[in-house]
Amino acid sequence: MERWERLPYGVGQFSWRWYLFVVGLMAGVGWAAYAYSVQLREGLVVTGLRDWGTMGGATWGLYIAFLVYFVGVSFAGIVVAALIRLLRLEFLRPLSRAAELMAIISLLVGSLSILPDVGQPLRALLNLPLYARPQSPLYGDFTLIVAGYLFASLVYFYLAGRRDAAILAQKKTPLQWFYRLWAAGWRDTPQERARHERVSFFLALAILPLLVTAHSTLGFIFGLMVGRPGWFSALQAPGFVVMAGVSGVGMLILIAAFLRRALGETERLSERVFGWLSTFLMVLVLVYLYFMVVELLTSTYTGHSHEVQLTLSLLWGEYAWLYWGAVGALVGSVVVIILPRLPRPQALPAFQPRFAYATGMATAIAAAIVFNEKLPFVPHVHVFAHPALERGLAVVSLGLGALFVLSLVPLLWRSSIASAVVAGLLVNVAAIAKRVLIVVPSQTHGGLLPYGTGSYTPTWVEYSIVVGLFALGTLLYSIFVKVFPIMEIEGGRS
Domain boundaries, the chain: 8-347+418-481
Residues 270, 275, 276, CA angle at the centre, nearest 5°?
105
Predicted local confidence at residue 389, as pLDDT: 67
Predicted local confidence at residue 370, as pLDDT: 67
Position 446 pLDDT exceeds 60: yes
Return d(Cα 241, Cα 15) in angstroms, integer. 39
Position 453 pLDDT exceeds 70: yes
Band (437; pLDDT cuts 50, 70, 90): very high
pTM of this structure = 0.89
What DSSP letter does each residue of 324-358 carry, written as one string? HHHHHHHHHHHHHHHGGGSPPPTTPPPP-HHHHHH
User: 221-237, pLDDT tens digit by residue?
Assistant: 888 888 788 888 888 88
Report, as an integer, the average pLDDT of 200-224.
84
Q: How far is C-alpha 328 from the geometric centre of its chain's CA atoms?
A: 18
Q: Which CATH architecture has domain 8-347+418-481?
A: Up-down Bundle (1.20)
Backbone φ, ψ for residue 278 (5° rounding): -70, -35
3-state secondary structure of 458: coil
Closest CA to 442 of 232, 224, 215, 138: 232
Predicted local confidence at residue 493, as pLDDT: 45
Predicted local confidence at residue 403, as pLDDT: 78
Report for 75-79, 99-103, 209-213: range of highest mean pLDDT: 99-103
User: 130-181, pLDDT tens digit by residue?
Assistant: 887 777 777 777 776 667 778 888 888 998 888 888 888 888 888 888 999 9
Yes or no: say if 163 and 157 are a contact pair by the CB < 8 Å rule: no
Position 414 pLDDT exceeds 70: yes
Return d(Cα 426, Cα 423) in angstroms, integer. 5
Predicted local confidence at residue 376, as pLDDT: 46
Position 373 pLDDT exceeds 60: no
